[in-house]
């Protein structure tokens, strides 16, 4: 099966997010006074071939742990969508 | 005997010549190690210099840690060999798990290129063996991701084990506990954001990096003599 994965990488709670903080300060400067919080993360999309969803998830989880995210400062969430079989 | 210092070069590293020049100036023998090399060719010490290893893609140091040379560096470090990561090299060593914590974007998102004052906090490291604690050093910094972070347990351990090697006198980047450099449990692996090799000759405005580089060479020679 083929799956598309969207991996969202965010800062762990308690870890400073200098980009988020800077954007949070910039938006009110443009007049958007009602923005209360901004966090900036990273989004990775990949397509993977795997026997089933669990296998795909397990493998991507390992990839996140080993390379795509830094577990010391980052958290990640994986969202999988099954792609239609290639014709 | 002159200590052999292996200088790791990744695609995107750009401080290797400065480090080689400084090593030579203080009596060491520099040897460039390409990132695809699987061995350290008899180095008595290893320096991972600054730059943008593998373009800093994904995260600083994230790709570099998978280069073949890093396995050899990890083995060398585990055997007690002195390893120093400067700037991007510090980032590589944290990603490789040779030092705890991580380096985040600077608070305020400014790229910093200036000379800062740092305080030597301990003599017990491969990089500070000859420096008195409390000594102030003027050292250049040149980074966007120098904001050291780690969890509370790690910070407590770094403090109680006397593993903070250098602290900024005035924190330029938001670094936790003013940390400019730390060492490993065995004290042979050191990472720091300032560039001692750029403060190694009066023409450069400071010679305060000399005591650090001399410490590294002394540690390396000592080890070479025993081996």
**ipTM value:** 0.79
The answer on pLDDT for A84 being more than 90 is no
Q: Is there a domain that residue A87 lies in?
A: no
The answer on pLDDT for A85 being more than 90 is no
Question: Once rounded to an integer, what is the mean pLDDT over residues A51-63?
Answer: 97
Model pTM score: 0.92
* A contacts of B109 (beta carbons < 8 Å): 18-19, 22
DSSP bridge pairs for B112: B143
B131 and B199 in contact (C-beta within 8 Å)? no
For A18, which of B101, B151, B174 is closest by C-beta distance?
B174
CB-CB under 8 Å, B108 with A22: yes
B150 part of the active site:
no
For B108, which of A18, A67, A70 is closest by C-beta distance?
A18
How many alpha carbons lie under 13 Å from residue B37 in its C-beta half-sphere? 17
B87 part of the active site:
yes
Give per-10-residue mean pLDDT for chain B (227 aa).
94 97 97 94 97 93 93 97 98 97 92 97 98 97 96 96 98 97 98 98 95 98 83
Measure the CA–CA gap between B181 and B166, rounded to whole angstroms. 5
Measure the CA–CA gap between B48 and A60, rounded to whole angstroms. 30
CB-CB under 8 Å, B66 with A18: no
B195 part of the active site:
yes
* A contacts of B100 (beta carbons < 8 Å): 72
For B62, which of A18, A19, A67 is closest by C-beta distance?
A67
The answer on pLDDT for A82 being more than 70 is yes
Q: Is there a domain that residue A36 lies in?
A: yes
| Domain count of the fold of chain B | 1
The answer to whether A70 contacts chain B (CB < 8 Å) is: yes
Q: Is there a domain that residue A26 lies in?
A: yes
B73 and B40 in contact (C-beta within 8 Å)? yes
Contacting A with CB below 8 Å, chain B residues are 58-59, 62, 66, 94-95, 100-102, 104-109, 147, 149-151, 174
| Domain count of the fold of chain A | 1
Q: Which domain holds residue B82?
A: 4-226
- CATH number, domain with residue A76: 3.30.1280.10
Q: Which domain holds residue A60?
A: 2-82
Give the pLDDT score at B35.
95
The C-alpha R_g of chain A, in whole angstroms, comes to 17
For B104, which of A18, A67, A68 is closest by C-beta distance?
A18
E-only strand ranges, B49-177:
83-86, 102-104, 112-120, 136-143, 147-149, 164-168
- CATH number, domain with residue B36: 3.40.50.880
Q: Is there a domain that residue A68 lies in?
A: yes
The answer on pLDDT for A87 being more than 80 is no
Give the pLDDT score at B103.
96
Q: Which of B58, B90, B107, B147 to mutate to test the interface with A (most CBs of A within 10 A)?
A: B58
B73 and B207 in contact (C-beta within 8 Å)? no
The answer on pLDDT for A86 being more than 70 is no
Give the pLDDT score at B194.
98
The alpha carbon of residue B107 is apart from the nearest alpha carbon of chain A, in Å, by 5
Residue A18 in 3-state DSSP? helix
The answer on pLDDT for A17 being more than 90 is no
Cα A14 to Cα A7, A10, A41, B149, B214: the distances in Å are: 21, 11, 14, 10, 39
Q: Which of A67, A68, A74, A75 to mutate to test the interface with B (most CBs of B within 10 A)?
A: A67
């Amino acid at each position: 099966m083929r799956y598309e994965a969207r991996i969202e990488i965010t800062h762990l709670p308690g870890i400073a997010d200098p980009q988020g903080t800077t954007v949070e300060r910039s938006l009110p400067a443009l007049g958007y006074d009602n923005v209360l919080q901004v966090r900036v993360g990273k989004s990775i999309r990949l397509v993977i071939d795997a026997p089933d969803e669990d296998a795909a998830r397990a493998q991507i989880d390992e990839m996140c742990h080993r390379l795509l995210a830094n577990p010391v400062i980052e958290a990640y969430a994986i969202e999988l969508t099954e792609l239609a079989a290639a014709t | 005997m002159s200590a052999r210092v292996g200088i790791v070069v990744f695609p995107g590293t750009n401080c290797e010549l400065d480090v080689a020049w400084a090593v030579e100036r203080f009596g060491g023998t520099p040897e460039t190690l390409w990132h695809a090399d699987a061995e350290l060719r008899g180095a008595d010490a290893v320096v991972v210099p600054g730059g943008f290893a593998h373009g800093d893609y994904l995260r600083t140091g994230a790709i570099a840690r998978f280069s073949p040379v890093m396995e050899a560096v990890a083995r060398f470090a585990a055997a007690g060999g002195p390893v120093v990561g400067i700037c991007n090299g510090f980032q590589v060593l944290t990603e490789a798990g040779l030092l705890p914590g991580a380096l985040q974007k600077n608070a305020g998102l400014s790229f910093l290129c200036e000379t800062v004052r740092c305080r030597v906090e301990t003599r017990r490291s491969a990089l500070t063996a000859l420096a008195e604690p409390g000594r102030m050093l003027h050292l250049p910094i040149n980074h966007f991701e120098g904001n050291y972070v780690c969890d509370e347990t790690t910070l407590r351990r770094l403090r109680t084990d006397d593993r903070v090697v250098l602290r900024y006198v005035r924190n330029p980047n938001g670094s936790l506990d003013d940390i400019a450099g730390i060492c490993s449990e065995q004290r042979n692996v050191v990472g720091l954001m300032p560039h001692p090799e750029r403060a190694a000759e009066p023409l450069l405005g400071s010679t305060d990096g000399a005591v650090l580089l001399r410490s590294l060479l002394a540690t390396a020679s000592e080890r070479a003599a025993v081996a």
